[in-house]
Structure 1
Amino acid sequence: MFKSLFQKKQKTTTEHVLAPINGQIADMEQVPDPTFAQKMLGDGLAVIPSDGTVSSPIDGEIVQLFPTKHAVGIRGKSGMELLIHIGLETVSMNGEGFTAHVRQGQKVKAGDPLINVDLEQVKNKAAHTITPVVITNMDAVASIEKRTVTDAVRGETVMMEVKMKA
């Protein structure tokens, strides 16, 4: 009894992850790639895009921009680390069809443009256009509430509410 009275409550910080691209939200298990579907890199949601503008889903800092511009890593103010991976097997496109608007170390706000992608090129040259949004530091996550909406509006639709451990 006394122990529970004196235990400190674990503090959490909440981040809202906005849709980075317009389209249909899908569960991670629906991504046709085992690395994402089996959550080997972390948990999250994916978007089947309807256009090619990718924006920041959170306020934070660009911690990695892949040379092929097919993926970008962002660290939020809470310490949450997100990977946005545009399409599947798009690394083989060697940056063709991708235009980056950010650089590593740059601060971004939710809704800021990150990358433009030619979806037709991705459809023709890669495995799929589906875009996983993955929390890569799950050990720092207290909980994730995934929203059940299906239509995502870039920079507006809250896809996930993530509580980070203090």
Structure 2
Amino acid sequence: MGLFGFGKKKTTDVLSSPVIGKVQALENVADPVFAQKVMGEGFGIVPEDEKVYSPITATVTSVFKTKHAIGLETDDGLEVMVHMGLDTVELNGEPFEIKVNEGDKIEANTLIATMDLNKVKDAGKDTVVLTIVTNTADKVEKAEMTANDTSSVNNGDEIMSVTLK
């Protein structure tokens, strides 16, 4: 590494869509904690299908007891949370089926969960699937949306580029 970090190669990670659906910019999500990026940079996808895939190659670090969220960590230390729906923690795991275990090493676009969209809607909850970089402050120099708000995407389509510090 050069003097004061000059010459250090920056690493860029790509976050892809975890579901088929429509892009929702984080600031447009109907939850102020996510919309104000308190949890970190990221994006939402309003799902049109029940299958949820990993947005990045990573290790599964946590599966929330209520099954509504899965934590991932890349080899370069980026921590990513896939959060299924808003306020779905209150559903005690009912609409979710988790397909991975803590410690699993997975590739981008690996099926990690299914979400019963009708059960989520019937409970009066928002189905948006969020992809959040939870260690944005520590690891991210720049996060850029590469997909347009409200555009239709397939799982695996690039949504955000993240340059690490």
Which residue of the other structure, out of 5, 27, 39, is the alignment partner of 1:8? 5
Q: What corresponds to 1:94 in structure 2?
A: 92
Q: Assess if the C-alpha contact under 8 Å between 1:24 and 1:152 holds in 2.
A: yes
Q: Quick one: distance in 1 between partners of 2:75 and 2:20?
A: 24
When residues 37 and 6 of structure 1 are mapped into structure 2, their CA distance, relative to the original with a 3 A threshold, is closer
Q: What corresponds to 1:159 in structure 2?
A: 159
Q: Quick one: distance in 1 between partners of 2:141 and 2:30?
A: 27
Decide which structure has the larger Cα Rg and report it: 1
TM-score by structure 2 length?
A: 0.92
Q: What corresponds to 2:53 in structure 1?
A: 55
Structure 2 unaligned spans of 5+: none
Q: Assess if the C-alpha contact under 8 Å between 1:87 and 1:126 holds in 2.
A: no
When residues 30 and 103 of structure 1 are mapped into structure 2, their CA distance, relative to the original with a 3 A threshold, is same
Structure 1 unaligned spans of 5+: none
Q: What corresponds to 2:144 in structure 1?
A: 145
Q: Quick one: distance in 2 between partners of 1:89 and 1:7?
A: 44
Name whichever of 114-123 and 124-133 sits farther off.
Answer: 124-133
Task: Return the letter of the residue paired with 2:96.
Answer: F
Q: Assess if the C-alpha contact under 8 Å between 1:28 and 1:45 holds in 2.
A: yes
Deviations 1:70-100 (A, max 9, x none): 1001111221111111001111111112111
Q: Secondary structure at the match of 1:144?
A: strand
Q: What corresponds to 2:115 in structure 1?
A: 117
Alpha-carbon distance, 1:6 to partner: 4.9
Q: Quick one: distance in 1 between partners of 2:147 and 2:53?
A: 21
The CA RMSD measured in Å over matched residues stands at 1.4
Q: Secondary structure at the match of 2:5?
A: coil
Q: Quick one: distance in 1 between partners of 2:124 and 2:67?
A: 14
Q: Secondary structure at the match of 1:127?
A: coil
Alpha-carbon distance, 1:7 to partner: 4.4
Q: Assess if the C-alpha contact under 8 Å between 2:100 and 2:112 holds in 1.
A: yes
Give yes or no for the alignment of 1:38 onto 2:39.
no
Q: Secondary structure at the match of 2:52?
A: strand
Q: What corresponds to 2:133 in structure 1?
A: 135
When residues 91 and 7 of structure 1 are mapped into structure 2, their CA distance, relative to the original with a 3 A threshold, is closer
Give % identity: 35
Q: Quick one: distance in 2 between partners of 1:38 and 1:161?
A: 19
Alpha-carbon distance, 1:145 to partner: 1.6
When residues 71 and 21 of structure 1 are mapped into structure 2, their CA distance, relative to the original with a 3 A threshold, is same
Q: Secondary structure at the match of 2:142?
A: strand
